[in-house]
Structure 1
Amino acid sequence: MELIPFKRPTDHYEEKIGGIDEQICELIRKRKDISNNNPGYPPFEYISKWAEKFNLYENQLKSVFSSLWNESSYKPVVEPDGFRKNLQILKITEKDDSLFYVTFIRQYSNASLINFNIDRNDISDSSNCKSKHSSFELFIGEEYNCRMKSGCGSGEHYCYNFVVSPALPDDVSGIDLTFIEYEIPLMEKKKVDEIIIHL
């Protein structure tokens, strides 16, 4: 997801609270470390209790914790730049009568673009015109930042493009692409499946 550039809402800043704001940043970092960067979301009862205890607005706290929960959407966006070459891949995995495959990887100087396709065997289901859309995340390793750039499809065929930065090596032999499927809507981020394509 690409975010709209954030514009500072006011020129005013009370310098007396600079130390407190720094402590807030320190606590956010500590929270990430203690939770192994998987904090979840506090129960609403906790938020209600904290709002009352500290004389804050519940909806404001819900928004703060939602922002912390969805941290990955704030990662800097890398746009592929400096096209170098196409790597022909065509690796296919079959699961539950569906085909999952990577046809090519576009190599750029600063990133790679992975083309991921799905062909579902839903011809016998005449009601399938409503389309089964999911959300996918790609995991390659801790050293790579992966984000979905685009996706489309309906019925039996879907196609997704993922930007990976930094760029993958030109020899991708032995790399595992793990595509994690989530139900839409993503509020609870319910994992549906995991597809591994070994290059």
Structure 2
Amino acid sequence: MGWSELRRIPNEYDETIKEMDEKIIDLITSHRSLTQGRRFFPSIEQIKEWSLRFQMDESQISFLIHNLQDQVRPLIPDELGELQNVISIMKKSIVEFCEYTLTHSMQYKNVSIVFVDIRLQNADEREVHLKPNLLLEIISDQQFVVRRYGSRGGGAQTEMQFIISPPIPESLVNLEFSLVPSAVFLERKIQEIVLDRQIDFY
């Protein structure tokens, strides 16, 4: 087999699945034709209802609906460019047991990188690990491309980073920020097995 030839990857496929796929593609095409690039998104209550009905995580449903949006967006530049400024944001919100803080933005020539600090309140009362399935949404007259850029931390505290193109303006007066549910589609649940028995070696 030459370098220009692709190995055929074995896949199972039949007429039943083909018909389902065609219906899905047809529905996506119809959905985008009706929305005409406008943002349509169901309420939190509706997502909760679907989650119970279809036995799917709310974050997975949100991810699916979000990716139905027919929006042509520019790609994020590969190069950050020179660091030009650091903007203090310090916007804080407390939801349920967690405190969320948009701390600052690193302003590069080509992009911005916004940092989010998440802390579990009363963390000393429990042993936990925060898993934020969240994406930063910027509401503005200007359109921004936002991608998750990294995260660090563990236990009851974590930090998320989001890369944004074009860079956000120095003045944040006309910008609104929200964290919205997002997840890797159909992420497999990992079974945790606790090994806590005494083991003797002879």
TM-score range, shorter chain: 0.5 to 0.7
Report SS of the residue matched to 1:140.
strand
Q: CA deviation at 1:180?
A: 1.0
Q: CA deviation at 1:163?
A: 0.8
Structure whose residues are more often helix by fraction: 1
**In 1: Cα distance, 2:89 partner to 2:166 partner:** 19
Unaligned 5+ runs, structure 1 = 1-7, 11-27, 39-67, 189-199
**In 1: Cα distance, 2:152 partner to 2:68 partner:** 26
RMSD across aligned positions (CA): 3.6
TM-score calculated relative to the size of structure 1: 0.54
In the TM superposition, what are the counterparts of 1:1-199 in structure 2 within 5 Å?
32-34=32-34, 76-79=75-78, 80-121=80-121, 122-126=123-127, 128=128, 131-141=129-139, 143-182=143-182, 186-187=185-186
Q: CA deviation at 1:30?
A: 6.9
Q: CA deviation at 1:138?
A: 1.1
Q: CA deviation at 1:157?
A: 0.5
Equivalent pairs counted in the alignment come to 133
TM-score calculated relative to the size of structure 2: 0.53
For 2:133, the aligned partner's letter is S
**In 1: Cα distance, 2:157 partner to 2:169 partner:** 29
Q: CA deviation at 1:32?
A: 3.1
1 or 2 for the larger relative contact order (CA 8 Å, sep ≥6)?
A: 2
Give the share of equivalent positions with the same residue, in percent: 15
Unaligned 5+ runs, structure 2 = 7-27, 41-66, 188-202
